[in-house]
């Protein structure tokens, strides 16, 4: 027997290491899988129902349902809608939805990121526990409370800031106002929505920053970095994808908000790009406004509007998922 044969005989065959899952693990996996599948089924049923209800309106109006800005219902005495003369268009509400949501994200994301960094790396333990509890509690507040608070408390202060923006930034078309009406504007609605999504974005960002590898943090300190330099060099690149995901999640929440926007914003059916003008609306608040008095045909149009909002929210979440996947490996 040669030396190579002796060495081959001395080396044992590799063992296959397997872990037999426990019963509790199987139950947990089954519950989580069933919950995920159930959520997908519910979303699928909602999509099918909205499509079925709104198909007739979408077929008659075509692309004009999204690009048009008129909502004129022509019906006979029996309540049957004449689709040849009726105009259903949600462009004004769709633009208002995107505008209010973008204002909210622009205001909320910097505040949320700075708050998350403070809670993760600067705040004492006692302050951190108290603030985390408050933030988690705010995330569970009903939206109607934010709307009432925004109407009675925030609106006077927001009107003052809106006047300042118009005075010093009025040369920018977005801040230009021909009629000096600053109350119940998209700016006020955006501020209320920003306050609503700050707890969500802050919680997600804080969790992501807290998962930064400790060895990278210690290596930065060992190289002489200050705390802020460590945050810029290690924490922010690592948590960038999580912050983007949290911001997009907040954007989706702001786009679908109904009661808070309905409370603080004048629902005016016209395309409005001026964020300080007291006119505008969003798709969800428009559905809430018209649903109580709508007939059968108009309800179908409102269902079609809900379908567009559903698909828009789904598109935003899909884009967020792509951004997270594309940027996740760069910071890590």
* Percent of the chain scoring above 70 in pLDDT: 90
Phi, psi of 88 (to 5 degrees): -120, 115
CB 296 within 8 A of CB 79: yes
**What pLDDT does 8 receive?**
55
Beta bridge partner(s), residue 71 = 88
The radius of gyration of the chain's CA atoms, rounded to the nearest angstrom, is 26
**What pLDDT does 113 receive?**
93
Phi, psi of 75 (to 5 degrees): -135, 155
State the pTM of this model: 0.83
The list of the chain residues with pLDDT below 70 reads: 1-19, 77-79, 83, 324, 326-332
Phi, psi of 280 (to 5 degrees): 155, -150
Nearest to 201 by CA among 90, 76, 117: 117
Alpha-carbon gap, residue 246 to 115, rounded angstroms: 14
Task: Provide the mean pLDDT of the chain.
Answer: 83
Alpha-carbon gap, residue 80 to 285, rounded angstroms: 25
Name the residue ranges covered by the structural domains of the chain: 91-331
3-state secondary structure of 87: strand
**What pLDDT does 248 receive?**
86
Q: Any residues with CB less than 8 A from the CB of 190 and at least 6 apart, and which?
A: 99, 100, 101, 102, 103, 104, 106, 107, 275
- CATH homologous superfamily of 91-331 equals MetI-like (1.10.3720.10)
3-state secondary structure of 280: strand
Alpha-helical runs (H) found in the chain? 3-10, 23-61, 64-67, 91-121, 125-139, 143-149, 155-169, 186-210, 214-222, 227-230, 236-255, 259-264, 283-291, 296-331
Alpha-carbon gap, residue 329 to 332, rounded angstroms: 5
Q: CA-CA distances (angstroms) from residue 21 to 17, 27, 28, 31? A: 13, 10, 11, 15
Nearest to 71 by CA among 93, 56, 48, 40: 93
CB 278 within 8 A of CB 181: yes
């Amino acid at each position: 027997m040669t030396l190579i044969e002796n060495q081959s005989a001395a080396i044992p065959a590799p063992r296959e290491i397997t872990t037999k899952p426990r019963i509790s693990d199987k139950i947990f996996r089954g519950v989580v899988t069933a919950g995920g599948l159930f959520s997908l089924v519910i979303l699928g049923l909602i999509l099918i129902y909205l499509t079925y209800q709104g198909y007739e309106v979408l077929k008659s109006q075509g692309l004009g349902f999204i690009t048009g800005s008129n909502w004129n219902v022509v019906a006979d005495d029996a309540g049957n809608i004449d689709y040849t003369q009726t105009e259903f268009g949600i462009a004004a509400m769709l633009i208002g939805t995107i505008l209010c949501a973008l204002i909210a994200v622009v205001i909320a994301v910097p505040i949320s990121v700075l708050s998350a960094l403070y809670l993760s790396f600067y705040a004492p333990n006692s302050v951190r526990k108290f603030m985390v509890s408050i933030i988690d509690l705010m995330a569970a507040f009903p939206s109607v409370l934010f709307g009432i608070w925004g109407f009675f408390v925030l609106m006077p202060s927001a009107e003052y800031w809106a006047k300042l923006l118009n005075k010093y930034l009025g040369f920018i078309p977005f801040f230009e106002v021909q009629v000096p009406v600053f109350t119940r504007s998209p700016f006020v609605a955006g501020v209320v929505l920003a306050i609503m999504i700050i707890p969500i974005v802050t919680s997600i960002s804080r969790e992501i920053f807290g998962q930064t590898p400790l060895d990278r943090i210690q290596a930065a300190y060992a190289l002489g970095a200050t705390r802020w330099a460590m945050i810029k060099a290690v924490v922010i690149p690592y948590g960038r994808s999580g912050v983007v995901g949290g911001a997009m999640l907040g954007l989706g929440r702001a786009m679908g908000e109904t009661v808070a926007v309905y409370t603080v914003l004048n629902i005016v059916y016209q395309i409005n790009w001026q964020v300080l003008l007291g006119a505008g609306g969003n798709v969800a608040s428009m559905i809430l406004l018209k649903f109580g008095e709508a007939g059968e045909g108009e309800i179908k149009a409102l269902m079609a509007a809900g379908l567009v909002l559903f698909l828009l929210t789904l598109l935003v979440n899909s884009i967020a998922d792509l951004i997270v996947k594309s940027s996740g490996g760069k910071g890590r």
